[in-house]
Every structure is written in structure tokens, then in C-alpha cells.
Amino acid sequence: MIINGVSIDDTFAEAFGMRGIRLIITAYNETWAMNSAAAMTGFATSVIACGAEAGIERVLSPSETPDGRPGVSVLVFAVSSKELIKQIERRVGQCVLTSPTSAIFAGLDEGDPVPLGKTLRFFGDGFQTSKQIAGKRYWRVPVMDGEFLVQDTARMVKSVGGGNFLVLADSQVQALEACEAAIREMRKLPDVVMPFPGGVVRSGSKVGSKYKALSASTNDAFCPTLRGATKSELDERIGAVLEIVIDGLTDASVKKAMEVGMREVCKIGAAGGIRRLSAGNYGGKLGQFQYHLREILK
């Protein structure tokens, strides 16, 4: 399959079942909501070492938030319910509770419970107050700028982590600009985040390493500087490869994001130095979800 001069590999992205949650952070203005959301979703690129993968889904207008203030919707994913609960407690406790004027609410109505204010309330040292409003419980925790308002419980759902595609281009700059264009469009979609810096990752990995302590190591088959020295997947024209990783609340949302992103890259086409689209997988043995590039783009 070739689109606008871009060759689409006959391969698939392999993704994993994860636990995902949407939270809504509000604040006095968008700047402070974003400050809090950025901190909370920081250091959350990969579950390999961060414990969670997270990102900002979108900015919310006051009419879209529970308390009528500017807000930001964030998505957080982890490999298990237990890990997600731990990550949420730490991240909300350290990054939202601490952020001036912030409040945080559940962004999903259905799913398994995740304690939010239920545990953070104890920061109030007995001065915390609970309120049940319209069937939902909230906690008011006194803090130095007033009160931190936090919903008692949020909801998590079964999700998908690790949807991906690789952009193979003539040069590093061309690969990067194509990924930037793809990310711009993908960020308009609901239910997905691209957790790596700027949504793009350069250090694609393979399973295993020559070093016993490491479970993953550089994907040498896609490293252009090793083209002549290893069993390379790259021909002589490819100067750089970048990857976009997608986590989504649903299978369909990941698939849609992959389609939108790949089509945007294909628009740039061979004229812009884009040669191939490929994807990362483990031979189909590890992940529950497979996203075949040619099926998505047909």
C-alpha cells in the first residue's frame, strides 16, 4: 500500500489492556488549571519506569466543568487497578492539592471506583468537611488559599495503552515536522493522549537486552546509525525514525487516533521526505490489541 508516495508496511501495532481514568482539574483561570494538570501528568511517559502514562486530553470551558471554572481534562493509564489507584493518590496529592485555587472532579461516571478525596481528605487533619450534592460526595479540605474541593471517588475503566505508529523519513527534521503535524490533529480527538514529550518518542524499544538488568533496550533494527551493523529494517534512504504512542479509553478511540495521525503524515508524503509508515509490535504474542496499519488506512 502506498499513499502519496508513503509506503505503508504490512504490519501492526501491538497494544495492551490497561486501566484508564479521566479527571477534571479546574482552577481560577486556565493558566492555573494547566499548571496543575501539567504537573500531575508530568513524568508519565511510560509505565516502564513512571508507574503511569498520562497526558492532557483537552482544555475545558467553564460551561463544561462541574464548578463552572476553567478546567483541563487529563487521562491517566496504568497497568493495573492497584497501580492506578496508587498513582492517582500520589499525583493528585502532590500536584493538584498543592496547586493554588485548584479543584478536581471525576471525569467518568461509570467504572470501578478510585479513591480521590476519600484518602486525600485526611490532609485536613479533622477540619475537612464532606458534602453530598446531587448524589455525589465531595470533600472540602482547608488549605492556605481557601478550600481544596475534591470529589470523593472517581471511576476507572478498562483501556488500551501502546497504540503506535512509526514515521520513517529522509531526515530527522522531516520526521519531526510530520509527527508535529500528526499530533496537532490527534490532540483534537477525545479519549486519547499521546504521553511522550510533545507526543513523540525517538527511543523505540525492543524486548530484552544484552544486560541482564534491563528488560528493554534500543530498537536497533530502526536505528539509522546502525544500518550497516545490525539486522536493520531501514533502507539507505531513511535518515530518522520517530514514533507516536497512543493511550486511549477505548479500542475505537486508539484506532481513530492512529488513522488521523497517519493520514496527516501521509498528506506530507514523499515530497516532504516521508518514506514509510510502520509500527511496533512483539510478534503478536504480548498485547491484547492489534492495529493493522493497512486495515486502518484502507
Q: Is the separation of the CB atoms in 291 and 258 below 8 Å?
A: yes
Return d(Cα 263, Cα 151) in angstroms, integer: 39
Work out how close the CB of 150 gets to other proteins at its nearest, in angstroms, rounded to a whole number.
Answer: 10
DSSP conformation letters of 25-60: EE-SSHHHHHHHHHHHTSS-S-TTTSS-EEEEEEEE
Dig out the grid coordinates for 203 from the structure: 527511543
Piece of the chain touching other proteins by CB under 8 A; list 139-147, 197-205, 267-275, 290-298: 139-147
Kindly identify the residues of this chain, within the stretch 159-198, that bind other proteins according to CB under 8 A.
none
Burial (CB count <10 Å: 0-12, 13-18, 19+), residue 182: buried
Q: Does 203 bind other proteins (CB under 8 A)?
A: no
> According to CB under 8 A, which one of 49, 109, 125, 132 is a site residue for other proteins?
132
Contact letters for other proteins, residues 52-71 (x by CB under 8 A): --------------xxxx--
Piece of the chain touching other proteins by CB under 8 A; list 129-137, 155-163, 221-229, 257-265: 129-137
Q: Does 121 bind other proteins (CB under 8 A)?
A: no
Q: Does 131 bind other proteins (CB under 8 A)?
A: yes
Contact letters for other proteins, residues 65-104 (x by CB under 8 A): -xxxx---------------------------------x-
Nearest alpha carbon to residue 254 among 288, 220, 229, 222:
288
CA distances in angstroms from 271 to 169, 176, 265, listed in the order given = 11, 15, 11
The number of residues that bind other proteins (CB under 8 A) is 18
Q: Are strands 153-169 and 274-278 parallel, antiparallel or unpaired?
A: antiparallel
Work out how close the CB of 131 gets to other proteins at its nearest, in angstroms, rounded to a whole number.
Answer: 5
Q: Does 144 bind other proteins (CB under 8 A)?
A: no
The residue to which cell 484508564 is assigned: 20
* Interaction site with other proteins (CB under 8 A): 66-69, 103, 126-127, 129-134, 138, 140, 146-147, 149
